[in-house]
């Protein structure tokens, strides 16, 4: 058996302290998970968590340079903690959730913000605003044996060296274990699934030439440069 053309490569992330790669299956994302970000977006803080996906081939391991995407004039960063799973299932209990974690990374949920408000107003899906090419730069995965289970710690995002986002992940409305449990009520989580856990306040627009840095204690940092227009 052969394919009618060469299949796309397996999406993957580096692993801290190893030559082996973490193979990415799906990219789940949580929206509206920090009160201060909900307030800056003008949303209702009592809403249940928003769960959406990006395609695995939107992952850009370690950042590097990413193109300024087509079809937006308001291209935003969202710095986030990323959880990588080694196992899964349906209906995972909150108290069992940590046993499914392979490790942690920091990532960017890049967003076409101009289309998000329009999509929400019309009750339309978020694909166009969230699920485009190169929309998920993610740093190396640090295994949980090294990092420990992360329930607190300072997450920061800098643009051109200036701090724009600075929050403790303990401020998440839905904690990591609750997120894993919630997603597994709707989807069978599997090894290789990664979860972008939502962004704190301070989101903003970037343009070609800007340098984004996301950092969190105990996790490898991510550095991304915004390149010229996608072609």
Residues that bind Mn ion (CB under 5 A): 78, 109, 199
Contacts of 189 (CB under 8 A, 6+ apart): 85, 88, 89, 90, 92, 100, 180, 183
Return the closest-CA partner of residue 104 out of 151, 59, 63: 151
Among residues 20, 23, 30, 107, the alpha carbon closest in space to that of 66 is found at: 107
Q: Report which residue's Cβ sits closest to Mn ion.
A: 109
Q: Minimum distance from CB of 126 to Mn ion (Å)?
A: 10
Beta bridge partners, 106, equal: 81
Q: Which residue, 76 or 158, is less far from Mn ion as judged by CB?
A: 76
Q: Which is nearer to Mn ion, 78 or 193 (CB)?
A: 78
Nearest residue (CB) to Mn ion, 15 versus 113: 113
Q: What is the 3-state secondary structure (H, E, C) of 158-210?
A: EECCEEEEEEEHHHCCCCHHHHHHHHHCCCCECCCCEEECCCCCCCEECCCCC
Give 130 or 158: the residue with its C-beta nearer to Mn ion. Answer: 130
Please name which of 57, 45, 76, 47 lies closest in space to residue 12, comparing C-alpha atoms.
57
User: Minimum Å distance from CB 219 to Mn ion?
Assistant: 17
Nearer to Mn ion, 24 or 110 (CB): 110
> Strand 211-216 vs strand 219-229: parallel, antiparallel, or unpaired?
antiparallel
CA 6 – CA 158 distance, rounded (Å): 38
Nearer to Mn ion, 15 or 172 (CB): 172
Q: How far is the CB of 145 from Mn ion (least distance, A)?
A: 27
Smallest gap, in angstroms, from Cβ of residue 116 to Mn ion?
Answer: 10
| Least spacing, CB of residue 33 vs Mn ion, in Å | 8
- Least CB distance to Mn ion at residue 190 (A): 21
């Amino acid at each position: 058996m052969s394919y009618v053309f060469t299949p796309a490569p397996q999406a993957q992330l580096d692993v801290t302290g190893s030559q082996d790669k973490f193979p990415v299956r799906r990219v789940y994302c949580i929206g509206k998970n920090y009160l201060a970000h909900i307030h800056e977006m003008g949303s209702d803080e009592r809403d249940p968590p928003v769960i959406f996906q990006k395609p695995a081939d939107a992952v850009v391991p370690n950042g590097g340079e990413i193109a300024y995407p087509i079809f937006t004039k308001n291209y935003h960063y969202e710095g986030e903690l990323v959880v990588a799973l080694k196992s899964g299932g349906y209906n995972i209990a909150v108290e069992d959730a940590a046993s499914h974690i392979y490790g942690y990374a920091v990532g960017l949920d890049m967003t076409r913000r101009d289309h998000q408000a329009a999509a929400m107003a019309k009750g339309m899906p978020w694909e166009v605003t969230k699920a485009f090419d190169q929309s998920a730069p993610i740093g190396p995965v640090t295994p949980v044996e090294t990092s420990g289970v992360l329930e607190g710690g300072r997450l920061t995002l800098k643009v051109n060296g200036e701090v724009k986002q600075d929050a403790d992940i303990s401020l998440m409305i839905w904690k990591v274990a609750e997120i894993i449990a919630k997603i597994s009520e709707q989807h069978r989580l599997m090894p290789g699934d990664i979860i972008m856990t939502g962004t704190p306040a301070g989101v903003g627009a970037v343009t070609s030439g800007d340098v984004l840095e996301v950092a969190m204690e105990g996790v490898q940092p991510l550095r991304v440069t915004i390149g010229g227009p996608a072609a």
